[in-house]
Structure formats: structure tokens, C-alpha cells
Amino acid sequence: MFSPNSLQPRMMLVNRFSCTLKNQSVKIGHCSKVPRNVNMEKLQHGYLFPEIERHELIHIKKYPNANVIDLGIGDTTKPLPTIVTSSMVDFVRGLSTAEGYKGYGPEQGEKALRKAIAHKIYKNLDIKPSEVFVSDGAQCDISRLQLLMGPNLKIAVQDPSFPAYIDSSVIIGHAGKFVDRIGKYENIEYMTCGPQTDFFPDLHTISRPQLIFFCSPNNPTGHAATRKQLQQLVDFAKVNGSIIIYDSAYSAYITDNSPKSIFEIPGAREVAIEVSSFSKFAGFTGVRLGWTVVPEELLYSNGFPVLHDFNRIVCTCFNGASSISQAGGLACLSPEGLNAVQSLVDYYMENARILVNALTSLGLTVYGGKNAPYVWVRFPGSKSWDVFAGILENAHIITIPGSGFGPGGEGYIRISAFGQRDSIIEASERLKYLLYQEGL
Amino acid sequence: MFSPNSLQPRMMLVNRFSCTLKNQSVKIGHCSKVPRNVNMEKLQHGYLFPEIERHELIHIKKYPNANVIDLGIGDTTKPLPTIVTSSMVDFVRGLSTAEGYKGYGPEQGEKALRKAIAHKIYKNLDIKPSEVFVSDGAQCDISRLQLLMGPNLKIAVQDPSFPAYIDSSVIIGHAGKFVDRIGKYENIEYMTCGPQTDFFPDLHTISRPQLIFFCSPNNPTGHAATRKQLQQLVDFAKVNGSIIIYDSAYSAYITDNSPKSIFEIPGAREVAIEVSSFSKFAGFTGVRLGWTVVPEELLYSNGFPVLHDFNRIVCTCFNGASSISQAGGLACLSPEGLNAVQSLVDYYMENARILVNALTSLGLTVYGGKNAPYVWVRFPGSKSWDVFAGILENAHIITIPGSGFGPGGEGYIRISAFGQRDSIIEASERLKYLLYQEGL
């Protein structure tokens, strides 16, 4: 069933467009003398998630009566706890009173929120509030960290991984040329993280990167790195002088004893920056709130503290997260708020269990779903985009093709557990029917 | 009275710190092998506005009982209209219901808001909603535009101007070395905009910049460029193949017939990007909402549309403005909302008139305050930082030293009219008393 069909990644469209530019005169507009940014030119195709949405829209147009279930983009669906919205309502109401009005806040975030993140999220890890920078989300801070570090660094990323690491690296200028034959950028080190190595890179094969992007629990594989693995990573970074940019956006979903923060690992304060978010932790995907921790001990090769430069980036290139979102974030970190957001996490994890059970009952090899709200399903011998297309065409379910997360994701699809329960049950039934029928 | 005193810009502190690094061993932490970003190293001092806040804190510590009036940072002080907060309250309440919950929105902004900006702000200027990108503020989009364009472009900025243009240019890598002798970066063209040329650059003296940052009404001078001036600017850009990054964040304050958008000028769609904001227009400094217009006709030298690449930046390096702030922005653009925010603008402009009258009554040369909420006051023969320090020390009023906006601001101070009325009246009286006493 999973034969190639008309669904293709955007790459082809862009190539066609480039040809048009080369061979035809421009019909509208006026060519400035500003050359197109060579880094933007190197990007291979549209950013993954808008691409998936584009496919969804095409499908809906083709089957206007189909009940399409979206388990693609990891977008939260459960309402926010009222304790969180009540705090935001009070704050917003205050904005129309003389006493409650607030203009610019500190670029680094409200003191109370920085303190709450330091003390509630990192408990006894001795993170100082002054090391916490409140942001409008992890993806935004990844780009600000690229601006901070500047171009032409030697970087390494997990393969597969969240595409913003590679795409933002291309945009700032680390990546070098894209090599079609292998589907990789020549100056980026792709650290294969597959089941054969317990989803952790074989560090003996990795050269000396300056920046290491590492996400745990990993998006898309759902694997939470173990304490032993993370200690290896920190030791590797220390020996090689690397800085780890550690993304813990899914740490609230860890159910076993895997570390929830890189700062649980001895030595991490000297080698790591941690980026995180309220998006998946508290359903803030649309509200927009995250944070980044830059420890004082983290220094450039000349001894200058990274913290000082990141503070400058935050003040110059950002102006603080919305004060309303920050009021909501603070409510999430109250004792009642923490309980309430935990129940959201539990709900999505029950979804993940339902999906995992349905897929394993078919004899498929399934990863994730235990410490993360993503299920990572193997389809040996198939191309991810074909599997994606087949499931969409025949079961009207949106997933994400694993190869969208890097060459190491080929042959897999990612299924998000962030749906409503009835959709998850319906999707499980449809997948069982479809895949059983097809004899997979 | 305005003799140099202990208040000095942060530059000196940074220099001292660098010396420490060079001459002493590092006491905490571990030097990575990641070199400090050479562009960050080129930044000359702390970002202006946090520097001003730092001085304010020192002053408050020195005079704990003083009634300090802050007319420094252009921060709004009037409560938001209830029509705006009610809409946000309804939206936030909805977030805790199954029907009202919303996760990720489109990265480019909600369709309804893009449409409202295109049709209400730009009325009959034929801006398409698809050309409007909703942001979390103009300063943030200026940095995203730098990422878009990439390093090593020849740029020109108004002198004086909002410091984010130059600082973000340094960070991305356009600026070259800072030349102490003249107080300028060697690769940035400073377009002097003083009273002798009606606050518009003498374009005959400007070489061929690739990017031109232009802000009207200008921050800090308060000058709104005339239609004739802007037509010259657009023609200059077209002839030279430049792209104008036009900041219209204060356009709501224009009271005469000066254009409120660069797109009022014939030909601008082929040469200009416009960055703007709800911050000053609607008191959203803390709420965080802005937008950028990239016209379809704007093309790189190879004919590729700038719009396509900016869309990619917005999808990859940003994830949309807070959905709550967007609900508030939409309410601002309803007929009742527009009336309500106009009354905020009128209030601040009455403040500006009070300040202008007080200062001109002393015989001072005063600009601005007519089309912008900033008053730009000349102190011939004095250094801006000395005037700033003298006013702070003797009248307990925070202003901004003009030289913080570039060498062209030397000898001026900027006074913000974004205060509460009683503070503005009190500040006017104090300034009259102080400056009359001092015989200025």
C-alpha cells in the first residue's frame, strides 16, 4: 500500500521556483541590489511543521467529508486548568486599572517567575534566579542562542531530532553545503541515535564539536536519556571543550528515574545551557512561554561568561515574554498549579499508552510513549513519507514522517499523543484496521 | 552645574572586566573551546535602556526618599481600555473550556488579525493580509530581519536613532570595528539627521547602502518625515538598489499630514519593509504585540521574493505572538477599540505639549512633541551624559542622554511624555525651577 504517490516534500516546489527565477524574467517587483542571504539559500525545504499542515489542507480539500484526525504536530488540545486562567484573567483585568497596569517588564522575565522556575522546576539543583531567562518559547530561544554563538561553529545534533536545531544552524551559518547523496549538511555532525545504541550517540565516533544540540526526552523518538548516558555526554563535552544546548521541553513527561534536567548531572553547570518551555508542560503552545538557564560557570575559551552575552542578546533582540503569559506561568508553578498541570501530563501519557498498545498488538516495533508524549513506530523497508501518505490517504490520520527529523528517522513515523481521548481511541482503531488489512 | 560626575556609561565597566579577563585567571567555571562571538565582542557597552535603569537604581539607593520621576524609557503608563482587556479576558476564559482552547496558531499570526492590520491600519494602501506578519514587538522583528538578511551588508542608519538598529547590526556582523575617535562603527553609515537638514539625511553625501534603517516619527528626535522627504528616500533606495527597513512604531502620534506609513509613498512596495508595534499605539509594551509588512514586490538581487524568506524565518525562529495578545490586538482594531486607543495617544500628546511649553518658556531649543511622544531638547556646549546626570542629581528626573542614540544625539536629551499627567506637571515645574536657577 505504501507506494510513492503525489505527496512530496516541499523541496520539489522550491526547486521548480528556483528554475523559474533562473530562466524567466521576474514579472512583478524590482530587483534590489541586496543579495539573497546565502544561508537562507542553503535551506533545503520548507520548515517541517508548516509542510505537514500544507499536506493536511490538501487532504481536507480532496476529502471534504473525511473526519481527519491530527496526530502530527505536537499541539496540546486539553483546556488550561482554571487556576492558571484565573490568574491570567486577574492580571488582564488589572491592566485596565491604574494600580494593576504594567508596561515593560524586565527583558529577562519577572523576578517572581525566574525565582519560581529556579526553585520549583530545579528544586535542589542550586539554579540561581539570575541564571534563568524567561522566553516566549524554546524554539525562539534556540535561534537567540544561535545569534549569541555566531556563525561557523562546528556543531553536532542528534539524528533524528527536532528540525529547528539544524534549520537555525543553517540560517546562522554553521551548516555548509547540503549533500544530496546523504541528505546531510557537510559541516553538521549527525549523531545517530537509533535503537541499536539505546538512542544515544556512539561518542567514540564523534569528533570534537563546539556546540552539541541534545534533546531529552527526545523529539521525535521519545527516548529519555539515562543518567549514565547524560554523564557520558557531560564528560565528553568537558574533555572536548564543547557547549551542550540541552532541550528539556518534554521533561515533565518522564515517568521513570531518567534525569529531568541536564543539571542533575555533576559537571553540567560548566558545559551546558538548558532550554525549556511551558508549551508541553502546561498546554501553553499558544500562550507562548519558556525559559533558558545559562549557568555562571559556563565560559567561552577566553574566560568570558556566556551568561553576560546571553543577557545582552535578550536585552537587544527580545523584549521579554508577554506579562500575561508570565502571570499564567507563575500560577502553573504554585502547588495547586503544579497538581493541575500534572493531570494534563497524565492525560496525554494515557493517550500514549493507548497508541502504543494498539500498535504493538499489530506486531509493530514501537518506541517512545513511556517518557514522552510521542510514539515512534518503525516500518522496516518503507520510506517515511510513503508511510505518512498511506496513513493519511487510507485512515485520514496526520502523522509526521520520521525522515523529516533527519536521515536517522527514515523508516519511522512519529505519532503525537496530544489529542483528545476519543480521537486517540478512534485513530488506534483505524490504524489497527488499516495495518491489519495491509498485513503489516 | 553639568560638570562630569561619577555617572558614566557602562563602557568603562566592560573595559575593566575585559582587563580582568586578560590579566587574571578565571576564578569559577571551566573555559570551553568555544570562542566568544567576535560580533558580541564588538558591542561597545550595555544596551542603552537597561543602562538607564541601572542609573535609576543607583540614584534611588542614594536618595531613598526622593520622588524620582521616570521620563526616560518610553514606557506607557495609562491603563488599557476595558474594551481591549474584556476581549482578552473572554479569550483567556475560553482557554479553560473545550470549545475555547487553542494551541499553536499560525506562526505568521491569526488570519483575522493580519486582515485587520492590513485593512484598518493601512486602509486603502492595498496591503494584503498575506504580507502582514504578526510579531511580539518591533525590536524582536528587527533582529529577525537581521537574521533574514545575514551578515556583511552595507547598512545606513539615521543618527541619532533607536539603538537596536546599530546593536543588532553589530550582533549579526555588519558593523566592523568601533572607531573610538569618532564613536562610530567603521562599516555603518551614520546619516546625520539634525535640525540643520530638517532631521532628514543629506542623501547626496550617502554612498550606496544595501539596507537603510529609517524610523519616522523618529525616536529620539520626534521628527516625522514629510511626504517629500520620504519620496526622496524611496527614490534613493530604488536608484541604489537599497532595501529600507522602516520603523513606524510611533505613527499613531502623527498630528499633521506627514505619512503614517512608508507605503503611502509611490514605489515603496518595491523597496521597503515596515516594522511596527502595538506597544506605543495601544499601551502594549508589556503585552507584546507588533507586526512587519513585507510586500510581494520586494525582491533580492536574484529576483527571489524577500517575503518567502521572511516567512521561513518566522516559521523557524519564532512561533507566533501569544494568542492572548493577538486577541487584545484585534480588539484594538475594532471601531470602539480604535477610538479608545486614540484617547490614550491624545493623553500622551497633551503631556508632550505641557513639557514643550515648560521647556520653551525657558528659552531652550526644543524639538519633537508634535508628531511623537518624545521631546528632544538641546543643551548647546554640554555633554548629554552630564545633562542627564545633572537633571537626575538635582531634579530627580530620569531622562535619556541623546548621545545614547548615536553621536548625532550629543548635546541633547530625550524626555518621554509617556508619564501620568501629575508627574509630567511636577517634572515640568522641577525642570523650570532647576534650569531657571542655573541660568540656562
Q: In B, residues 396-435, which contact A (CB 8 Å cutoff)?
A: none
Q: What is the ipTM of this complex?
A: 0.94
Is the predicted pLDDT of residue B3 greater than 50, yes or no? no
Residue A93 lies in a domain: yes
Q: Which residue has the higher pLDDT, B284 or B437?
A: B284
Cα of B305 to nearest chain A Cα, Å: 9
Q: Which residues of chain A are modeled with pLDDT < 70? A: 1-28, 439-440
Q: Do B151 and A151 touch (CB under 8 A)?
A: yes
Residue A211's domain comprises 82-335
Mean pLDDT of B175-194: 96
Residue A28 lies in a domain: no
Axis crossing angle, helix B421-437 with helix B335-361, rounded to the nearest 10:
20
A403 phi, psi to nearest 5 deg: -65, -15
Comparing CB atoms, the residue among B21, B142, B240 nearest residue A302 is B21
Q: Which residue has the higher pLDDT, A76 or B1?
A: A76
Q: Which residues in chain A touch residue B91, judged by CB atoms under 8 angstroms apart?
A: none
CA–CA gap between residue B318 and residue A50 (Å, rounded): 13
The percentage of residues in chain B with a pLDDT greater than 90, rounded to a whole number, is 90
Give bridge partners of residue B191 from the DSSP assignment.
B158
B8 CB near a chain A CB, below 8 Å? Answer: no
Residue B3 lies in a domain: no
- pLDDT at site A19: 26
Same domain? B201 vs B53: no
Q: Which helix (H) or strand (E) holds A132?
A: strand A132-135
Same domain? B142 vs B288: yes
Q: In B, residues 48-87, which contact A (CB 8 Å cutoff)?
A: 49-50, 73, 75-82, 84-85
Same domain? A261 vs A328: yes
DSSP string for residues in A40-108: HHH--SS-HHHHHHHHHHHHHHH-TT---EE-SS----SPPPHHHHHHHHHHHHHHTSTTT------TT
Residue A382 lies in a domain: yes
Q: Which CATH number covers residue A428?
A: 3.90.1150.10
Residue A22 lies in a domain: no
A315 CB near a chain B CB, below 8 Å? Answer: yes
Same domain? B126 vs B271: yes
CA–CA gap between residue A69 and residue A398 (Å, rounded): 6
B37 phi, psi to nearest 5 deg: -55, 120
A 10 A CB-CB count for A376 gives: 27
Q: Which of A316, A335, A354 is the last residue of a domain?
A: A335
Q: Do B286 and A242 touch (CB under 8 A)?
A: no
Q: Do B79 and A73 touch (CB under 8 A)?
A: no
Is A141 in contact with A313 (CB distance < 8 Å)? no
Mean pLDDT of B407-424: 97
Comparing CB atoms, the residue among B93, B139, B322 nearest residue A322 is B322
Nearest chain A residue (CA) to B42: A309
Q: Which residues in chain A touch residue B103, judged by CB atoms under 8 angstroms apart?
A: 75-77, 283, 285-286
B124 CB near a chain A CB, below 8 Å? Answer: no
The CA-atom distances, in angstroms, between A143 and each of A280, A317, A318, B32, B397 are 19, 11, 11, 21, 38
CA–CA gap between residue A291 and residue A275 (Å, rounded): 6
Separation of first and last alpha carbons in chain A: 10
Same domain? B349 vs B430: yes
CA–CA gap between residue A383 and residue A225 (Å, rounded): 27
Mean pLDDT of B10-16: 32
B30 CB near a chain A CB, below 8 Å? Answer: yes
The CA-atom distances, in angstroms, between A266 and each of A216, A235, A261, A272 are 17, 9, 11, 11
- pLDDT at site A437: 79
Q: How confident is the model at residue B171 (pLDDT cuts 50, 70, 90)?
A: very high
Residue among B97, B58, B55 nearest B73 (CA): B55
Residue A304 lies in a domain: yes
Structure-block grid coordinates of residue A106? 524586565
Same domain? A109 vs A88: yes
Q: How confident is the model at residue B49 (pLDDT cuts 50, 70, 90)?
A: confident
Residue A69 lies in a domain: yes
Comparing CB atoms, the residue among A49, A80, A318 nearest residue B140 is A318
- pLDDT at site A439: 57
Comparing CB atoms, the residue among A38, A240, A288 nearest residue B322 is A288
Q: Do A36 and B309 touch (CB under 8 A)?
A: yes
Structure-block grid coordinates of residue B362? 525657558
Q: Which of B335, B367, B393 is the last residue of a domain?
A: B335
Q: Which helix (H) or strand (E) holds B353?
A: helix B335-361
**Pairing between strand A69-70 and A397-398?**
parallel
Same domain? B39 vs B155: no
- pLDDT at site A17: 33
Cα of B234 to nearest chain A Cα, Å: 12
Q: How confident is the model at residue B374 (pLDDT cuts 50, 70, 90)?
A: very high
B139 CB near a chain A CB, below 8 Å? Answer: yes
Q: Which residues in chain A touch residue B32, judged by CB atoms under 8 angstroms apart?
A: 210, 241-243, 271, 298-301
Cα of B1 to nearest chain A Cα, Å: 32
- pLDDT at site A49: 87
Q: Which of B319, B335, B351 is the last residue of a domain?
A: B335
Q: Which CATH number covers residue A247?
A: 3.40.640.10
Q: Do B316 and A29 touch (CB under 8 A)?
A: no
Same domain? A297 vs A379: no
Comparing CB atoms, the residue among A97, A105, A296 nearest residue B29 is A296
Separation of first and last alpha carbons in chain B: 10
- pLDDT at site B439: 57
Same domain? A223 vs A94: yes
Nearest chain B residue (CA) to A29: B297
Contacts with B238 (C-beta within 8 Å, 6 or more apart), sequence order: A30, B267, B270, B271
Comparing CB atoms, the residue among A31, A136, A241 nearest residue B303 is A31
Same domain? A182 vs A291: yes
Up-side HSE of residue A143: CA atoms within 13 Å toward CB?
29
B154 CB near a chain A CB, below 8 Å? Answer: no
Is the predicted pLDDT of residue B307 greater than 90, yes or no? yes
CA–CA gap between residue A79 and residue A92 (Å, rounded): 19
Rg (CA), chain B: 22
Residue among A389, A388, A435, A431 nearest A409 (CA): A388
In chain B, what's the furthest Cα-to-Cα distance? 67
B329 CB near a chain A CB, below 8 Å? Answer: no
A358 phi, psi to nearest 5 deg: -60, -45
SS3 content of chain A, % helix, strand, coil (to 5): 45, 15, 40
Is the predicted pLDDT of residue B166 greater than 60, yes or no? yes
- pLDDT at site A29: 75
Q: What is the pLDDT of residues B76-132, one digit of tens each?
A: 999 999 999 999 999 999 999 999 999 999 999 999 999 999 999 999 999 999 999
- pLDDT at site A81: 98
Cα of B438 to nearest chain A Cα, Å: 34
B39 CB near a chain A CB, below 8 Å? Answer: yes
Is the predicted pLDDT of residue B305 greater than 50, yes or no? yes
- pLDDT at site B373: 98
A211 CB near a chain B CB, below 8 Å? Answer: yes
Chain A interface test: which of B102, B113, B144, B147 (most A C-beta within 10 Å): B147
Q: Which residues in chain A touch residue B278, judged by CB atoms under 8 angstroms apart?
A: none
Q: Do B287 and A95 touch (CB under 8 A)?
A: yes
Same domain? B161 vs B72: no
Comparing CB atoms, the residue among B241, B298, B321 nearest residue A29 is B298
Q: How confident is the model at residue B192 (pLDDT cuts 50, 70, 90)?
A: very high
Q: Which residues in chain A touch residue B81, judged by CB atoms under 8 angstroms apart?
A: 96
A404 phi, psi to nearest 5 deg: -65, -15
**Domains in chain B, number:** 2
Is the predicted pLDDT of residue B424 greater than 80, yes or no? yes
- pLDDT at site A436: 83
Amino acid of residue A52: I
Comparing CB atoms, the residue among A32, A105, A143 nearest residue B286 is A105
Up-side HSE of residue B335: CA atoms within 13 Å toward CB?
0
- pLDDT at site A21: 44
Same domain? B118 vs B248: yes
Mean pLDDT of B267-295: 98
A262 phi, psi to nearest 5 deg: -65, -25
DSSP string for residues in B166-217: HHHHHHHT----EETTTTEETTEEEEE--GGGTTS--GGG----SEEEEESS
Residue B136 lies in a domain: yes
